[in-house]
Structure 1
Amino acid sequence: MLTRVRVRVLVLLFWLCTRTQGHMDSESWTGQAVLPSGLCRYGNSVECCWGWRQMDRGRCQPYCEQGCKHGECVGPDRCKCRPGYTGKACNQDLNECGLKPRPCKHRCMNTPGSYKCYCLDGHTLQPDGSCRNIRTCYHANCQYGCEVIKGRVRCTCPSPGLQLGPDRRTCVDINECVLGGGGCPHRRKCVNTFGSFVCKCQLGFKLTYINGRYTCIDKDTRPFCSLNPSAPKCRCEDGGCKAPPKSPDIPVTTSCGSLTLSLGNTDDYARDDPKVGVLHCTFDHGVCLWMSDREGDLHWQTIRNSAGDSYLSVPELKAGQRSIRGARLGIQIDPPWSHGDVCFSFSHWLTGNHVGVLQLFVKTKGRGQRYSTAIWSRTSGHGWRQTQVTLTSYSVDKVLLKAERRRGHRGQIAIDDVTLRQGACQ
């Protein structure tokens, strides 16, 4: 009898232990277990699945390298297009007029992202896209179609970019580019078409997919800015710089887009104004004068956190992708700086196993377009860290940050708050 009681007690304890262990470890299975919202379990760690990238607060977001111009990214390199668009990147207009069955009974006019039905003479367009034969429209002799409102016949045009001509029967084009420029965004010009218009990049700019949207960027990849107190000058990404007249007694301030460059003539100005001789960029309003180097085979991307602040990050490598030259971010100093030390400070974040390496290089005048060996390097870290490096080389011509992604497919290499300041670091 006592033995049976002991057996029952042991069975009860074993049942409680296995139930508790199952409750505690239900989220800790070994191997890869797919969780909601793009999270995957790898052993005892939870990270973003391949094709997803980490956002703030541990959330994961699907990543479509080709972009989704008229749609949204719903999975790794998988776009869901809005009605009227097709293609892998949702950047192709769907010609609904060529579908079967045809959406219109008589005539169909394709428009960007949609279509328009119109009827032959003697017919009027119905709400369902069909055409109704009415004697009044037949006698109106309209070019595209007509409508009858309160017994009166009125010719119609199939597109908002067309209007009735003086004869009130034919349709003429509306030049939207003359009327308010067509509403094209910055760096794009309006080109009128029959019944509509398109926005094209201005001369010297090219259409590029960046951070989830298409924008026009400068084709000139050689922006420069001068630290020389005797000859301050800069070239902006949009070609629009402004510099107040120089006075021998007042520090010169040169403004380029979102980057403010202040240059002082004497040490007294530097003591009075801490911002004298400073190039500072937080990437909240663009990349300032920092540009990707042509020799890189990866690209920096702007990431915005939940607070609305931005930083630059190098995306993870895709399956089978190899990177030799990495992502390169540089700034040209023209003419080369030869007025003493320069302090280069920046924030960096390297997370994940075997994520890669972040390095700092400088190029000086007379080196035959070659960079020095890395003067600073980092392969790991936890959270954001601040680093300061004093550049002591004579005639600094260019400063370059290089990020190389390694075999670790998960993790992040990021930089923020990049500053070039006259004088040695404190």
Structure 2
Amino acid sequence: MLISFLFVLGILLTVTQAHFFQPSYSCNKGYEPSRYNPRQCVDIDECASGRNPCQHFCVNSQGSFECSCKSGFVVSRQDNTKCVASGGSSCRPGYKPSVFDPDECEDIDECADQVNRRCEHVCVNSRGSFECSCNPGYVVSKSNPTRCVAGQGCRAGFRPSIFDPDECEDIDECATANGNCQDTCTNSRGSYECSCKPGRTVSSSDPSRCVVVSSCKSGFRPSVADPR
């Protein structure tokens, strides 16, 4: 009986030692203990789903991995998991490479350049861009958003130019319906004038109409039947 007890106790101690007192194994970088045999080291697939450290493409190798980039990009010199444009800066318009990390982009303050001023009046910087505004009495030009033009528009007799909406050009009133003149229309800058054929004169009550020149003496008027 005692022998049987000692035999069973020996088996239990052996199993316990095998389970709790296994020697620990450490694997080199890029490897990990196998799930099936803890004493064996297997490669870590860094490119596997959920682990991929590369910005574009990941290629696994024994104990390591390597990143590669899409066409037009190269691996960053600062961080070999990132990709930057092969032609230089990968920054979008309005940004530039950071002075602290060439692979990172920082905003360009377009308003800080006082030599090559972007705006005619006031410059307001924003992330990746800027906006111009104008002093009181002026508005931003429709044709050039960096310029300011007077806000009152064109004077009477003028209209915005078809070539430059910020400039005014003369309206040729005579080009449409003869300026409503009965006889002759003469255009001028910002205005026009009606005139009449020989023997007629501009009406004093309506400058667009012509009336027959009267030869009647004072106290008389042209006859309705014969104005001569």
**As a proportion of its length, which structure holds more strand?**
1
* TM-score, structure 2 as length reference: 0.36
> Which structure exhibits the higher relative contact order, with contacts defined as CA atoms closer than 8 Å and separated by 6 or more residues?
1
Larger Rg: 2
